[in-house]
Amino acid sequence: MKYIGIDVGGTHMAAGVVDEEGVILAKAETPTLPGRPFEVMIEDMGAIANKALKQSGVSLDDVACIGVGIPGIADNEKGDVIFCTNLFWKDEPLRRELQKHINKPIWIENDATVAGFAENAIGVSRGCKSSVFLTIGTGLGGGIVIDGKPWTGAHGVASELGHLTMVIDGEPCTCGKDGCMERYCSATALIRMGKEMCIAHPDCDVNKRINGKLENLNAKIIIDSAKDGDSMSLMLFNRYTRYLALALNTIVSFLDPEMIVLGGGVSHAGEFLLNSIVEKIPQYLMFKTMPFAEVHLATLGNDAGLIGSALLAREMIRE
Amino acid sequence: MKYIGIDVGGTHMAAGVVDEEGVILAKAETPTLPGRPFEVMIEDMGAIANKALKQSGVSLDDVACIGVGIPGIADNEKGDVIFCTNLFWKDEPLRRELQKHINKPIWIENDATVAGFAENAIGVSRGCKSSVFLTIGTGLGGGIVIDGKPWTGAHGVASELGHLTMVIDGEPCTCGKDGCMERYCSATALIRMGKEMCIAHPDCDVNKRINGKLENLNAKIIIDSAKDGDSMSLMLFNRYTRYLALALNTIVSFLDPEMIVLGGGVSHAGEFLLNSIVEKIPQYLMFKTMPFAEVHLATLGNDAGLIGSALLAREMIRE
């Protein structure tokens, strides 16, 4: 059988036909354009699913089910999206609406959860009994795998690692709380720190790279400056990766998974990021001489959500 | 069959004979007296196990196995204690040594883990698919149950909730790190805050209750003063329970268990403590309208460790 995976992001939606090994046979994309009527957005979602199906040459009869990864949380009994803040979705009947366009069993899951599941099924953490996937991008998301299956909690609100409190009464967060981990560990956090540096030190290397135009600052510019050895950028980068090392220590001390996988935009900084985090972990461990989780970069890239949605739907609907 | 459970604390060791339902048939205790030679301490452990067995009238043939709960971590392949800081044990062959005195299969596990397992097996969280037990005493310990079984992690270092970083560069911790959750949520933390209050405000109610003798201060005195309505003690108590609410939020946002169970000495403050924590949780939740873990006080008291050790040994050695 084949499976359709759909990954819904804030800017793009992608749909793909995936085989038993998690290989993408065909893929189609369309802009998400949040703010449009829900039914219109789902019509687009159905269209890319059907387009990918046609391109793949697979017949609808050979598709067992569809998985949808969303930046929010879902209720799979009803087939509804409960929350999807960035898309302005609240209590929307995703399954019912999508089945009007492509009529197959549908499983809906959080995007970080499915990406983590994909890495655990066919990516870098393949075969791990337990793993935690940390997606470091605009926000900070978590995907927990326990005993080879996604762990979404007793009420579906688990693995919201971005919203653990990291600094009591700290930076205000988009979620309405203060001091969330996301405010110190995401790309957004690194950019905020970078802007503060540019304002305090207008002659710094990063400010030169953006010609003083703060609105042009992104995480890559700061990381590139640090990679090139600028001492002020390196200090900033180490301050940032210290927060990430503390986040990883929380994962180790709480759940002690076999592996921690780093994904999302910031993880494209590669070994430079990985080494800067991993070298800081031991000082925060309680049992300093004990083994702890291996830390690796994600390997499936942007396709992790699509592949994970498809493979997870297979697991959940098969049961 | 019957099972022997042994609970090793910093001041006392207790051994008990437990039946299939977790009922204690007989129990014996002895002081732990840490610092003595390991073999001598284990000889005492064997003696109370045999004493409880004799009192119970159960024959050794009817005992399936022995569980030992320790304030540290163990390697059950070797049967060794890896760390037990408070008892000055490091890489000690507990199973081999104890079997000299009572020759049965032995399973060794962290004390908070077995107490949490006991509550999940026959206590307040009975039947929960997932639960987190938080023991609030001299330190802060955690016991995670997932799918009805203790979760100790891929390397045996999971559920060290007391040593998650709560305040970056905060209070120095006995473990060698700074700002650990234990430094803000344990009885020790409440006493520290109380002493600071007494020094800053010598005329405060708590300082009167101890006649200015700071060495006599304990958590109960502070909580009793708050219960009696002293405004300064209430403020202090609310500051303390805010830290606990943040700790519970970390548990909810990370693992989202079905239930969180509060045990340990401080939990004897009962509903007064429970209510003060639970009323503060919603403001820290990401999904404010979603259900989250029920929070309850532990019901098995000091026997949780003994019962949990026995029942866990049954589970682990049966497999």
pLDDT of residue B319: 59
Mean pLDDT of A194-216: 98
Distance, in Å, from the CA atom of A85 to the CA atom of A68, rounded to the nearest integer, reads 16
Please name the residue of chain A whose CA is at the shortest distance from the CA of residue B85: A287
Confidence of residue A319 (pLDDT cuts 50, 70, 90): low
Would you say B119 and B298 are in contact if contact means Cβ atoms under 8 Å apart? Answer: yes
A157 with B254: Cβ contact below 8 A: no
B256 with A176: Cβ contact below 8 A: no
Distance, in Å, from the CA atom of B311 to the CA atom of B314, rounded to the nearest integer, reads 5
Six-digit token string for B190: 């409440």
Distance, in Å, from the CA atom of A65 to the CA atom of A44, rounded to the nearest integer, reads 18
Chain B residues within 8 A of A160 when measuring between CB atoms: 253-254, 286-287
pLDDT of residue B170: 97
ipTM: 0.94
Helices (H), B173-303: 182-185, 187-200, 205-209, 219-227, 231-254, 271-278
Instruction: Name A175's Cβ contacts closer than 8 Å, sequence gap at least 6.
Output: A163, A182, B286
Confidence of residue A289 (pLDDT cuts 50, 70, 90): confident
The 3-state secondary structure of B166-201 reads: CCCCCCECCCCCECECHHHHCHHHHHHHHHHHHHHC
Which residues pair with residue B262 across a beta bridge?
Answer: B134, B297
A156 with B288: Cβ contact below 8 A: no
Regions of chain B with pLDDT less than 70: 319
Six-digit token string for A205: 């290397």
Distance, in Å, from the CA atom of A244 to the CA atom of A267, rounded to the nearest integer, reads 12
Distance, in Å, from the CA atom of B196 to the CA atom of B235, rounded to the nearest integer, reads 13
Chain A residues within 8 A of B164 when measuring between CB atoms: 249-250, 253-254
The closest of A219, A227, A230, A199 to A264, measured between CA atoms, is A219
Chain A residues within 8 A of B286 when measuring between CB atoms: 157, 160, 163, 175, 177
B290 with A157: Cβ contact below 8 A: yes
Could you give phi then psi for residue B51, rounded to 5 degrees?
A: -65, -45
Nearest residue, CB atoms, A287 vs list B83, B256, B286: B83
pTM: 0.94
Nearest residue, CB atoms, A256 vs list B129, B154, B257: B154
Nearest residue, CB atoms, A253 vs list B151, B160, B168: B160
Q: 3-class DSSP state for residue A172?
A: strand
What residue type is A150 in one-letter code? Answer: P
pLDDT of residue A318: 74
Please report, to the nearest 10 degrees, the dihedral formed by the alpha carbons of residues A256, A149, B125, B161 taken in order.
20
* Percent with pLDDT over 70 in chain A: 100
- Min CA distance, A268 vs chain B (Å)? 25
* Structure-token match 């301050």, residue found: A239
Total H helices, total E strands in chain A? 10, 13
B157 with A255: Cβ contact below 8 A: no
Strand order in the sheet with B80-84: B73-75, B80-84, B89-92
A154 with B258: Cβ contact below 8 A: yes
Mean pLDDT of A231-255: 98
Query: For B5, which DSSP code?
Result: E
B157 with A83: Cβ contact below 8 A: no
B155 with A293: Cβ contact below 8 A: yes
- Min CA distance, A292 vs chain B (Å)? 6
Six-digit token string for B209: 């209750």
B254 with A164: Cβ contact below 8 A: yes
Q: Residue A319 burial by CB count (10 A; 0-12/13-18/19+): exposed, middle or buried?
A: exposed
pLDDT of residue B164: 96
Distance, in Å, from the CA atom of B30 to the CA atom of B11, rounded to the nearest integer, reads 9
Q: Report how many Cβ contacts below 8 Å link chain A to chain B.
A: 140
Mean pLDDT of A197-205: 98
Mean pLDDT of A267-295: 93
Choose from B130, B253, B259, B292 for mutation: most chain A CBs within 10 A: B253
Please name the residue of chain B whose CA is at the shortest distance from the CA of residue A258: B154
Chain B residues within 8 A of A168 when measuring between CB atoms: 166-167, 246
B129 with A154: Cβ contact below 8 A: yes
Nearest residue, CB atoms, B253 vs list A151, A163, A253: A163
B158 with A254: Cβ contact below 8 A: yes
pLDDT in tens, B5-31: 999 998 899 999 999 999 999 999 999
Six-digit token string for B238: 């609310």
pLDDT of residue A75: 93
pLDDT in tens, A51-103: 999 999 999 999 999 999 999 999 999 999 998 888 999 999 999 999 999 99
CA dist A245 → A31, A101, A278, B221 (Å): 35, 45, 7, 39
pLDDT of residue A85: 82
Choose from A240, A286, A288, A289 for mutation: most chain B CBs within 10 A: A286
Nearest residue, CB atoms, B284 vs list A146, A155, A165: A165
pLDDT in tens, A150-185: 999 999 999 999 999 999 999 999 888 999 999 999
Distance, in Å, from the CA atom of B82 to the CA atom of B13, rounded to the nearest integer, reads 19
Distance, in Å, from the CA atom of B100 to the CA atom of A302, rounded to the nearest integer, reads 58
pLDDT of residue B174: 87
DSSP letters, A19-88, are -TTS-EEEEEEEE--TTS-HHHHHHHHHHHHHHHHHHHT--GGGEEEEEEEESSEEETTTTEEEEEGGGT
* Average model confidence (pLDDT) across chain A: 96
